Structure formats: structure tokens, C-alpha cells
């Protein structure tokens, strides 16, 4: 006989875990499945060495359920975002503009946390939620969608009857495929390197994005490491150059990264292994199917610029939660799902288009586009209403 649950979540990445936390907190019974064991230690094989700059709306969601109590103590606030345009190699600074959170209000733009650490803390939080069942080592294998509910088949042969199946199972989403939903993908031939560095010049809670041919190089503040200032690096590059950089010994990589950062923080010393991520824009053709909602990378993948990826995912989660709470009797009904699709589709498509265009401009080595980039940075920053509007849009309004 099939087990019964309100919500079945396929995927225990950060998005899936946070989805389980918010739906569990709201009183729904939740079963989360993921074939991969969670890695919650920076040094372990396969640990996620990316960081996430959680923006204000994400913090609001975490505060609502008490999750911020465990995440907050590990977070580094981001009070200033500095955009630096450079050209040539070694890069020379052409323009530098600072966007200050004080321009919009009192609190920082966001709070940066390492992904492996967030995963550890969210798992700890979930351990205290009796209506959430986590099944690691077991995956989503298929489903039978019916008007009354979905009958999900797991990889160990178990069957689960769910009112709503949430696909949070990443770029290749098995739930999306089982629901027959396609996705449009834009490839750039770029890859992103993610690693941490220490540096002699303090970051002062400034997140710095440095543009040059190949893509953006971003330094996001972390807590000091052994008393030395530390930042998370995301370095986008054309594929072959990224692969060559990732294969370098730490000393050589540090030298290249220091040049690429124009030594704004002095000599950068790699302080972790390097992980490599393909850069794509991907948008699912639909966000819902009968009894199914897609969230996070199952629904959209964005190039890692402006901390939009997981933050956009948390807008999905918040929207779906609000609708489910308003229809407690059946959180997977056709009307809930139609409203979810209506509410999220436009934001996702617009955000994907803007980040796509921004990435193309950032990575270009062509002189006219580079001139446009510097002009655009000046224009956006120096006209106060435009600056504030762009900052608000970046935060998710």
C-alpha cells in the first residue's frame, strides 16, 4: 500500500531542503527524497564550495520560520556592492562604482553563507520538524498523475501518494522530465570557478564584481579565516581557460586571480579546492503539470551574476507556500498550480533575459561593447532614481 503525504519533494539540494523547512513549518506533511547523501563538511568529497548571498526577501522567509536563528550567526553582511569595469590583460580598471545598501534603507543587501554550511544548518533545523521525513539514498523514479493526487514511485520500489509533487531536483530534473515538460537552454561556452581565497586587504563587507573579457570575477565577503580576511570567488571564463585555471597548482592560480582582481585586495591565496560549474541559462517550458510544481533549478538556471539563482528560487518557494496555505485542503489543486504559474512565470522569464544580456555584455572582448559596458555602469550608478530602481530589481522587487 502507498504511503500518504501532503507534499513530496524530489531533490535535497539547498532549494529542496529549504522548501521542506517552510512547508513543514506551515504544518504540511512532507517527504523529501534524494539519491545523494548530503555533504555538510567543507573538506569532504563533493562538498559545495559555492557561497550564496541571501538577499533581503530570503532572510525575511527564513526569519518567518525561525531558520534565520541558526543561519544568522554564520552570515557575513553585504553592505556595499562594488562594480568594477576593466579592460586588457593584465586588467586595468576603467570605471569603479559603489552601490550602497543605505541608499535603500537601513539593512544590508544580503548575507553571505557557504553552501555546505547552509546545508548543514538547514538539515539540523529539519531534524526538529516531526512532520518532515528526509529520505536520502532514495530517488524519484516515476509518477502517475491523477486529478486527485500523484502516485510517486521511488527508486527503492516504495510508492507514495502525494497531493503535490515539488520538483526541486536540479537542472536535469527527473520530475520535469516525467511530467513531459521541456526546457530551453542557452549555452555560452563559459564555466564558473568557485573557491575561497584569503587576502591581506580587508573586504569591509563589500561584495566586488569585476568585469573583463570572459565574464565576471566576483569576490563575496566571508568571515576571517585564521584571523585573515577571506572571500568566496566566482570566476566566469571561457571554457578552455576555466579548465586550465582549475588544473593549476594553488600558487599559480593565486597569481592569476590576483592579476584578474587588479590586486584590489592584495595577493589572493586560494584557501579551498576549486569547483567548476557550466554556465547556462535554462528556463522550463512550463512551471506546472497536473499535481506537479517545479521550483529552483528544475525551473530555471541563471548564470551566477548578481546573486540571482537561489534567491529567485526562494521567490518560487514563497509564492507556492502562500498559495498552498490559502488552500490547505488541497495544496496541489489545479487552481493553486495555475496561480503559481501565473505568479512566477513572468518574473523568471524577465530575470533570465536580463541576466543573459548582462552576461553577454560582461564577457565581451569587443571594444564597442566594452565601451557600452563602462557607459552603462556610469549611467546606472550616477542617476540616483535609476540606481535605486536597479538595486530594488536586483533584490527581487
Ligand X SMILES: Cc1cc2nc3c(=O)[nH]c(=O)nc-3n(C[C@H](O)[C@H](O)[C@H](O)COP(=O)(O)OP(=O)(O)OC[C@H]3O[C@@H](n4cnc5c(N)ncnc54)[C@H](O)[C@@H]3O)c2cc1C
**List of residues contacting ligand X (CB under 6 A):** 10-16, 33-36, 50, 52-53, 139-140, 168-170, 174, 192, 194, 234, 277, 296-297, 304, 307-311, 313
Smallest separation, CB 204 to ligand X (Å): 19
Nearer to ligand X by Cβ, of 173 and 364: the residue is 173
* Nearest distance, CB of residue 14 and ligand X, angstroms: 5
Q: Give min distance, CB of 329 to ligand X, in A.
A: 27
Handedness of CA 317, 320, 326, 332 (dihedral sign): negative
CB of 289 to ligand X, least distance (A): 16
The partner residues of 145 in beta bridges, in order of sequence, read: 150
- The phi and psi torsions of 178 (rounded to 5 degrees) equal -65, -30
CA 111 from chain center: how many Å?
Answer: 13
Shortest Cβ 141–ligand X spacing (Å): 7
Give least dist CB 47 to ligand X, A: 12
Q: Which is nearer to ligand X, 97 or 277 (CB)?
A: 277
The 3 state secondary structure assigned to the chain is CCEEEEEEEECCCHHHHHHHHHHHHCCCCEEEEECCCCCCCCCCCCCCCCEEEEEHHHHHHHHHHCCHHHHHHHCEEECEEEEEEEECCCCEEEEEEEEEHHHCCCCCCEEEEEHHHHHHHHHHHHHCCCCEEEEECECEEEEEEECCEEEEEECCCCEEEEEEEEECCCCCCHHHHHCCCCEEEEEEEEEEEEEEEECCCCCCCEEEEEEECCEEEEEEEEEEECCEEEEEEEEEEEHHHHHHHHCCCHHHHHHHHHHHCCCECECCEECCCCEEEEEEEEEECCCEECCEEECHHHCEECCCCCCCHHHHHHHHHHHHHHHHHHCCCCCCCHHHHHHHHHHHHHHHHHHHHHHHHHHHHHHCCCHHHHHHHHHHHHHHHHCHHHHHHHHHHHHCC
Nearer Cβ to ligand X (313/333):
313
Report the residue closest to ligand X, judged by CB.
13
User: For residue 98, what are the β-bridge partners?
Assistant: 82
Rounded to the nearest whole angstrom, what is the least distance from the CB of residue 257 to ligand X in the complex?
A: 15
210 vs 333, beta carbon nearer ligand X: 210
Burial of 116 (0-12, 13-18, 19+ CB in 10 A): buried
312 or 370, CB closer to ligand X? 312
Are the CB atoms for 32 and 295 separated by under 8 Å? no
Q: Which is nearer to ligand X, 175 or 324 (CB)?
A: 175
The cell for 230 is: 577571506
Pick the closer one to ligand X by CB: 11 or 332.
11
Toward ligand X, which CB reaches closer, 10 or 281? 10
Q: Which is nearer to ligand X, 169 or 356 (CB)?
A: 169
Q: Which is nearer to ligand X, 262 or 307 (CB)?
A: 307
CB of 169 vs ligand X, minimal distance in Å: 4
> From the CB of 120, what's the least distance to ligand X, in Å?
14
CB of 328 to ligand X, least distance (A): 25
Q: Contact 138/156 with Cβ under 8 angstroms?
A: yes
Amino acid at each position: 500500500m502507498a504511503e500518504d503525504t501532503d507534499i513530496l519533494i524530489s531533490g535535497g539540494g539547498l532549494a529542496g531542503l529549504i522548501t521542506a523547512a517552510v512547508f513543514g513549518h506551515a504544518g504540511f506533511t512532507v517527504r523529501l527524497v534524494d539519491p545523494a547523501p548530503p555533504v555538510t563538511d567543507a573538506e569532504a568529497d563533493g562538498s559545495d564550495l559555492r557561497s550564496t548571498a541571501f538577499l533581503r526577501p530570503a532572510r525575511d522567509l527564513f526569519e518567518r520560520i525561525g531558520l534565520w536563528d541558526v543561519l544568522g550567526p554564520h552570515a557575513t553582511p553585504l553592505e556595499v556592492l562594488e562594480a568594477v569595469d576593466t579592460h586588457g590583460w593584465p586588467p586595468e580598471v576603467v570605471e569603479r562604482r559603489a552601490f550602497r545598501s543605505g541608499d535603500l534603507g537601513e539593512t544590508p543587501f544580503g548575507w553571505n553563507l557557504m553552501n555546505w554550511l547552509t546545508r548543514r544548518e538547514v538539515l539540523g533545523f529539519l531534524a526538529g520538524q516531526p512532520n518532515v521525513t528526509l529520505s536520502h539514498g532514495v530517488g524519484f523514479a516515476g509518477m502517475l498523475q491523477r486529478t486527485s493526487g500523484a502516485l510517486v514511485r521511488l527508486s527503492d520500489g516504495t510508492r507514495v501518494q502525494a497531493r503535490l509533487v515539488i520538483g526541486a531536483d536540479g537542472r536535469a530534473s527527473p520530475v520535469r522530465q516525467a511530467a513531459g515538460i521541456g526546457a530551453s537552454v542557452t549555452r555560452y561556452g563559459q564555466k564558473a570557478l568557485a573557491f575561497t581565497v584569503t587576502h591581506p586587504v580587508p573586504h569591509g563587507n563589500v561584495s566586488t564584481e569585476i568585469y573583463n573579457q570572459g565574464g565576471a570575477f566576483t569576490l563575496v565577503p566571508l568571515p576571517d579565516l585564521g584571523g585573515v580576511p577571506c572571500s568566496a570567488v566566482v570566476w566566469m571564463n571561457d571554457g578552455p581557460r576555466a579548465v586550465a585555471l582549475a588544473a593549476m597548482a594553488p600558487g599559480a592560480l593565486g597569481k592569476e586571480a590576483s592579476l584578474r582582481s587588479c590586486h584590489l585586495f592584495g595577493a589572493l591565496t586560494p584557501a579551498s579546492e576549486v569547483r567548476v560549474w557550466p554556465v547556462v541559462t535554462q528556463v522550463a517550458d512550463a512551471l506546472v503539470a497536473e499535481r506537479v510544481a517545479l521550483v529552483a533549478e528544475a525551473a530555471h538556471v541563471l548564470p551566477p551574476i548578481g546573486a540571482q539563482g537561489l534567491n529567485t528560487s526562494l521567490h518560487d518557494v514563497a509564492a507556492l507556500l502562500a498559495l498552498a496555505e490559502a488552500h490547505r485542503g488541497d495544496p496541489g489543486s489545479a487552481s493553486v498550480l495555475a496561480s503559481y504559474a501565473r505568479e512566477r512565470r513572468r518574473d523568471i522569464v524577465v530575470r533570465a533575459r536580463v541576466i543573459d544580456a548582462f552576461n553577454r555584455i560582461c564577457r565581451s572582448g569587443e571594444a564597442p561593447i566594452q565601451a557600452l559596458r563602462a557607459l552603462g555602469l556610469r549611467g546606472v550608478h550616477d542617476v540616483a532614481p535609476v540606481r535605486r530602481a536597479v538595486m530594488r530589481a536586483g533584490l527581487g522587487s
